[in-house]
Amino acid sequence: MSANMSANGELLFSDESSGISLVVEDGVAIVTYDAPDAAVNTVNTRVAPVFARCFDEVETNPAITAMVVCSAKPDSWIAGADIDELAQVTTAADGEALSRGGQQLLDRLAALRKPTIAAMHGATLGGGLEVALACQYRIATDHAKTVLALPEVQLGLIPGAGGTQRLPRLIGLQAALEMILTGKNIRAKKALQLGLIHEMVHPAILRAIAVQRAQQLGRGEAPVLRKRSHGATQMLLEDNALGRRVIFRQARVGVLKKTKGKYPAPFAAIDAVQCGYSDGIEAGLREEAARFGALAVSPECRQLVSIFFATTALKKDSGLPDGVTAVPRAVRKIGILGAGFMGAGIATVAVQAGSLVRLKDASLERIGTGWRAVRDVLRERVKRRQLTRAQMDDLLSQVGGTVDYSGFGNAELVIEAVFEDLAVKQQVLREVEAAAPDAIFASNTSTIPIREIAKAAARPERVIGMHFFSPVHKMPLLEVIVAPDTSAETTATVVQYGRQLGKTVIVVRDGPGFYVNRILAPYINQAGRLLDEGVAIDAIDAALTDFGFPVGPITLLDEVGLDIAGKSGPIMAAAFGARMQPSAALAQVIASGRLGRKVKRGFYRYDEQGKRQGIDEAVYALTTAGSARQSMTATAI
């Protein structure tokens, strides 16, 4: 620790190992967290004693009237607990002790007799949000990177530093359960509406406003702490024991429906919240800690944490072999060949990532259909208040259309999303090389080897695969397929751009089916053979969703598009023989013109809005077994 004077006030101490400092300005203690050698701040046992020292100083120093907690990181406040530390927990008792330590630290913060203000800019997640909940006043910036969440369930855990107890008491039971059980981010505007924060300000004035509010609160003056409004629903349900039992029962039913009982964390969270309501906050905290400890060593948590580490490592991977380096090119404008379902989906994510997009198709009618598909996704975001109408209009202005290659000349990247036919893809490759000689050519093929497409290229080093998944705006994975002649610069550029689109990027070697479809093909083929043998569509889908898949294989076919599966099936069979031979049922259904949700006709029926209406019984007549369907248990399937 060291003490001296700073340019803005008196520096009482600065701890270099934790990155925590305390400066006093006009009677306000400003605690700043800037974890050394780390992109984000996290909560861990190493920083807990330093924060405790800050709290003691604030409590005992008569010159301090209030405290502001802020971050020196550009895009985050406190982004959660230290996952590396969590991975070291080996027993439930150790996990429970870790939780109790966090609870005690934040109990100390909440019990300070001087006002405390959380000044939040950027990601405020997990343990970070729990720190903010323990403060008396919360201010957040109106910036896109400022999001608040309790995402612990996504790691197989529950909030462990009092979040299951403080959040419901602050924003209400139903809203709190929604946040805790889904782990979803909410933006500052929504947090303000919920009463989770008291003010929303521009980032440039966050610190000044926080200090001003601290001074006002320290003098016992305005602002008055914001109180959550009590609506009719809350009065009928949340403010009485009988109503709360209804809410908890509905929450359990919803979790069971969504998780099929495969994940224990959401149920543990409900139990901890309910315990706090029935037996008091101290009992609730004990329940929270005990459940946290048990979950921390559960196999579900271990596997989800492993996925977290793998995903984090992917974000740092350039996609190049060890020892190979390349500087990626900036991608500001892209061309997309094909304004159909996939092309429009790629355009949707590209414009939201800041790219200019030029859509090409054979007719203006098709371009119009693609443009409307982009608009519909953005409209949904406006409806959900994730975008304003003005922002939607600005994004749509970034999408242009053409029936020739005008506007492609200055594109850094061109993505083809045309028919899954080698000759067609080779033809558009030749056309793109003539129209956009400096562009990288990326094929959205799902199965055709990139090296085969690149045989038509004058510049094969700029040919690569970018395999998106449907629907593009929802599916996070992107396969980048590297052919033997693909250059390191091309690979690095496409990997970086994929991350710019918000995708989880995996780089794979070239070959039929690449990675995902080589695994998926046997799975889909077996589902088709079950249809051939007379098993009902809903029985097949239910068996796999009960097992733990988010959707069943028949639903997946309808979502992806049966034409895509129909094109890829023969390619996989040609490469791998009879073991990859597609089912007769699938071929017959495709031949009937059923292509899935995108044409509102597949294995399932759809209304005009594309909402599924149930099984199309007429499909059974197209299969070997005919209309008769045998019953078969999930175990047998």
Residue of 238, 288, 420, 479 marked active site: 479
Question: Given the structure tokens 């600005």, which residue do they identify?
Answer: 394
Q: Give the residue among 512, 537, 486 at the shortest CA–CA distance from 326.
A: 486
Question: Given the structure tokens 């492609």, which residue do they identify?
Answer: 408
Which tokens is 526 given? Answer: 């077996």
Evaluate whether 270 touches 181 at the Cβ level (below 8 Å).
Answer: yes
Q: What are phi and psi of 85, to 5 degrees?
A: -70, -40
Evaluate whether 539 touches 637 at the Cβ level (below 8 Å).
Answer: yes
Q: Is 479 a catalytic site residue?
A: yes
Backbone angle region of 316, left / alpha / beta, with phi > 0 → left and psi within -120 to 50 → alpha: alpha
- How many Å apart are CA 514 and CA 282, to the nearest integer? 54
Which tokens is 494 given? Answer: 């496409």
Cis peptide before 550 (omega within 30 of 0): no
- How many Å apart are CA 612 and CA 22, to the nearest integer? 57
- How many Å apart are CA 5 and CA 264, to the nearest integer? 51
- How many Å apart are CA 301 and CA 269, to the nearest integer? 14
Evaluate whether 295 touches 91 at the Cβ level (below 8 Å).
Answer: no
- Is 387 strand, coil or helix? coil
- How many Å apart are CA 537 and CA 341, to the nearest integer? 25
Evaluate whether 358 touches 407 at the Cβ level (below 8 Å).
Answer: yes
CA-only gyration radius of the chain, Å? 28
Measure the CA dihedral 227/232/236/240, to 10°. 10
Which tokens is 337 given? Answer: 């060949």
Which tokens is 615 given? Answer: 């099984």
**182 burial class (0-12, 13-18, 19+ CB within 10 angstroms)?**
middle
H/E run at residue 581: none
Question: Which residues, 6 or more positions from 228, have their beta carbon under 8 angstroms from its beta carbon?
Answer: 170, 171, 172, 194, 195
Q: Give the residue among 487, 80, 513, 61 at the shortest CA–CA distance from 308.
A: 80
Alpha helices in 111-171 (DSSP H): 127-134, 163-171
Q: Give the residue among 23, 223, 225, 8 at the shortest CA–CA distance from 135.
A: 225
Catalytic positions, written as ranges = 479
